[in-house]
Structure 1
Amino acid sequence: MNDLPPPRPVHYAEQSLLGALLLEPHLLPDIRALEAEQFSNHAHGALFQAMRTVPPPDPATHRSDPAWLNAVLEAARARAPVLTVSYLHTLVQVCPCSQHAPTYARMIRADHARRTLLMLAQRLAQTAIDVTLPQPAAATLAQAEALAQFLDTLAGQFAPHPGSLPRTSLPRPPAGCCSEEAFDEERLLLAAATAHPAALKDMRWLQPNDFTQSLHATVWECLTSLVHRAEPVDPVTVLWEAQHRGLLADGFAASDLMSLVSTPVGSPEYWGERVLQRALLTCAFDVAARIAVYAEGPANTPHQLITGSRRALADLTAVRTRWQRSTATTPAAPRAPRSPAVSRAGPPPRAIAVGARTLR
C-alpha cells in the first residue's frame, strides 16, 4: 500500500513547466523571475537550474537531436541523481500546452510565496515563546519586520484583484492562560502604582487589555482614573473606586483588594514594561498563528495572503508603538519617586519573591 500523500497542484505545474521547456528551450527567457529554489520538488529545481546552465540549442536542431536534453540531464543529476531519461519523457508527455509556460511559472512562484510566508510566520511564533532569548521583544520585532518586508516584496510581484480578503476561516482563539510569573508581575505593578501614582502620568503606553487577568485590568483602570482626575491615590481610595466599578460585586472582598495594592516592591515603570513586553510577545504569537492559518490554506491567492497578513500585523504594530514609547529614553520627563535603592532595572530578586508571596 502506498502511504504517500497525493501530489499537490503545484507538482503538476512544475511538471508542465519543465515539459514545456524541454520541448521548447527558447521559452526560458520568458520566465526570468522564477528561481530553482522556488520549486517544491528538489529534483525539479535541479533540472530547471541545469536548463539555465547549459547553453540553449538551436531550435531547428533541437527537434531531431537530443544532445541538449542529454547535457541537461547530466548537469541536473549532479544535484538530483534520481532523475532519469524516462522521467524527462514523462515531463514532455504531461505538458498540456508549452505556450502556457509563463503561467505555470507564476503558479510555482505563488506556491513558493505561500510556503515562505508560512515559514516566516512559524519563525515569528517560535521567537515569541523562546524563553532563552536575552532580549525577546527586540528579537520578536525583528522577525515581524522580516515578515513585513517579505510581504512588501510580494506586493510588487503579484497584482491585486477583487476579493482580496483570505477565504480561510480563522479558528476560535484559545482561552487565555495566565502564568504564575505574569500573575505576580501584574500584582506587583498594581501595588507599586498605588504607592507611586505620579508615575502613571507617563505610563499611558500601558493599556488594560495588556493584562492577563480581568481583575488586574479593572484595578489598573481604577488607578489611572484616579490619577486622571487628580484625586488622592492610596489603598482606600482605590477600594472606593473599585466599588463604584462593581468590582466588589463579583465576589472579590474589600480586604483582598486592600492586600493587593498595599505591598509595593520596585517601580511602576519596571513592572509596567514587564507586563507590556508579555502582551507584545503574546500578540506576536497570536498574529503569527493567524498568518500561518492563512498560509496553510491553499485556496488563498498571493494577494489575499498579503492583505490578510498585513491586517494581522497591524495589531502587532499598535502594541509595538506603545512598547517603543515605554522603552524610549526621555531625560526631560520626570520620573515618579521610587523605593530606596530601586532602579528601572527592577528590585532585587529577594524583594520580588517576598513581595509576590505577600500578595497571595
Structure 2
Amino acid sequence: MTETPLVQAEQAVLGAVLLEPRQLGRLAGWLRPEHFYRPAHAALYAAMLDLRAEGHPATKAAPNVAVPLAWVNDTREKAGTHVRGLTAGYVHSLASTCPLPAHAPVYGRMVLEGAIHRSVAQHAIRLHQAARADATRGTRVAETLHHAQVLSDVLDDLGRRWGTERHGGQAGTPSAAPSTGQGSADERVLSEEESLLGTLATHPQQMREVVGWLRPEDFTDPGYAQIYRALGALHHRGEPIDQLTVLWECQRRGALADGTLDADRVRQVCGSAAGGSAGYFGEQILDASLLRTAAASARQIRDLADDASLAPGQLISQAAAALVPLDEARRRRSAADADPEPQEAATAKTGVPLASRAAAARARTSAHRNEAKVPPSTPSARSAPAPGAGRAR
C-alpha cells in the first residue's frame, strides 16, 4: 500500500534522526510530537526528545561516529510504553525511508505543514458543531463563543510557530448562511424580529437600546431588515416614528418597488407590538445572527484547510480573514451586554445634546424640502448647489 506524502514525510524525519541523532537539535525547538499524524510516529518522536533530554550518548556523538544500535533499541523501547504493536522491524525500516538525513528540517517542515492543516480543520469543525448545537438549544451562544476564541488563539499560535504574522487581510466574507437550527428555531427568530420591530415602532424611545449594536444584516427576513433600516434612518435624523413615517421611509429606499415589502405588511409589522424590551428582542436576534455567522465562517475555514495546495502562511491568513465577520459580531454582542450609552456620555462625545442634534437634523430636512419647492430665479442660482444640500441627502 502506497503511503501518502504526509506519512512519508513523517517516516523520513524519523529515519533521519535514527540515522543521525544530532539532527534532532535542528528539530526540537519547533517540531512537537503532536504534529505527527500517526500515533506510533508521535510516540517515537517523543521518545527521541526524552532520550535527548536525558543525555543519551548517541545524541552527543561526533558527526563521523557510527550510531550505536542502542539508540534505535532505546527509542523503540521507550515509545513502546505509549503505543502497542511497535515492532523492531518497523523502526529499523524507517531508516531506509529517509532519502537524505541532512534534509531532516525540510521533512519536519512538511510534517508541521500537515499538522497546521489538520489542526485548523479540526477546530473549524468544532466551531461549526457548537454553532449548530447552540442554535438548536435556543440561540444560547456560550459554547460557540468559546470555540471561536479557541480557533482564534490556535491561528495566532500556528502563525507564530510557522513564522508568519496573522492578519485579517481582505476578508472573504462568508455568504449568508441559512439558519443552523431546526424549523421551530427559525419561527422563533422570525417572531422575535417582528416583536422587536413592532416594539420600536410603538415605543421609538427604545431605539437607543439597540441601535448601537444591532444591524439590518442580523435579520433573517429581508423585509424585516428593510423596516429596521428605515427605523434606524428615522432615529438618526431625529424624525417622528410611526406606521406612516416608517412606510414612507421604506418607499424612499425602494423596498416597496423591488417587492421586498408591501404597504400592508409594513403597517402590520409596525402595529404588532407585543410588549417587552427592545433590548431583549435585539439580543436574541443578534445571538441568532452570530450563530449563523459562526457556522458560515467555520465552513469556509474548513474548506480552506482541506485545500492541500494552500501553503500554511496562506491558510492561516485566509482563515483569519474568514473569522473577521464573526469577530465583528462578537464585539457587537459585548456591546449589547454593556449598559446603553447614557445621554450624558453621548453629549460628551460630540459636545451637542441629543435633543439639539435631533432638532438640527429635522431643520436640515425641512430646509431641504423648502428649497425643493422654490424654483431658481437666475442661471447662477441654478448652477450653484444649495448650502447643506449634500448633508440633507
- Global fold match (TM > 0.5): yes
Match of 1:260 in 2: 269
Match of 1:347 in 2: none
2:35 aligned with 1:38: yes
The C-alpha deviation readout for 1:132-151, integer Å capped at 9, x for no partner, is 76883343223222222222
Match of 2:148 in 1: 144
Match of 2:243 in 1: 235
In the alignment, the residues of structure 2 paired with residue 165 and residue 232 of structure 1 have an alpha-carbon distance, to the nearest angstrom, of 41
Matches within 5 A, 1:227-306: 227-249=235-257, 250=259, 252-265=261-274, 266-306=276-316
Q: Is the 8 A contact 1:193 1:267 kept in 2?
A: no
Aligned residue identity for 1:217: A
Of the three residues 67, 70, 86, the one matched with 1:83 is: 86
Larger Rg: 2
In the alignment, the residues of structure 2 paired with residue 151 and residue 277 of structure 1 have an alpha-carbon distance, to the nearest angstrom, of 24
SS in 1 for 2:141: helix
Compare 225-234 and 112-121 and name the one that shifted more: 225-234
In the alignment, the residues of structure 2 paired with residue 251 and residue 89 of structure 1 have an alpha-carbon distance, to the nearest angstrom, of 70
Task: List runs of 5+ in structure 1 lacking aligned partners.
Answer: 335-360
Matches within 5 A, 1:75-114: 75-114=78-117
In the alignment, the residues of structure 2 paired with residue 252 and residue 218 of structure 1 have an alpha-carbon distance, to the nearest angstrom, of 8
**C-alpha deviation, 1:43, in angstroms:** 0.9
Match of 1:196 in 2: 203
Pair 205,126 (structure 1): closer, same or farther in 2 beyond 3 Å:
same
What TM-score comes out, normalization by structure 1 length?
0.81
2:191 aligned with 1:181: no
Q: Is the 8 A contact 1:128 1:136 kept in 2?
A: no
Match of 2:233 in 1: 225
In the alignment, the residues of structure 2 paired with residue 199 and residue 171 of structure 1 have an alpha-carbon distance, to the nearest angstrom, of 31
**C-alpha deviation, 1:171, in angstroms:** 12
Identity, in percent, stands at 34
Aligned residue identity for 1:100: H
Alignment root-mean-square deviation, CA: 2.9
**C-alpha deviation, 1:197, in angstroms:** 0.8
In the alignment, the residues of structure 2 paired with residue 135 and residue 65 of structure 1 have an alpha-carbon distance, to the nearest angstrom, of 62
Q: Is the 8 A contact 2:33 2:46 kept in 1?
A: yes
Q: Is the 8 A contact 2:218 2:289 kept in 1?
A: yes
Q: Is the 8 A contact 1:24 1:59 kept in 2?
A: no
What TM-score comes out, normalization by structure 2 length?
0.74
The C-alpha deviation readout for 1:257-315, integer Å capped at 9, x for no partner, is 22222121212221111111111111111111111111111111211111101111122
In the alignment, the residues of structure 1 paired with residue 177 and residue 157 of structure 2 have an alpha-carbon distance, to the nearest angstrom, of 35
SS in 1 for 2:163: coil
Query: What count of residue pairs does the alignment treat as equivalent?
Result: 325
**C-alpha deviation, 1:51, in angstroms:** 2.2
Matches within 5 A, 1:4-19: 7-19=3-15
Task: List runs of 5+ in structure 2 lacking aligned partners.
Answer: 345-393
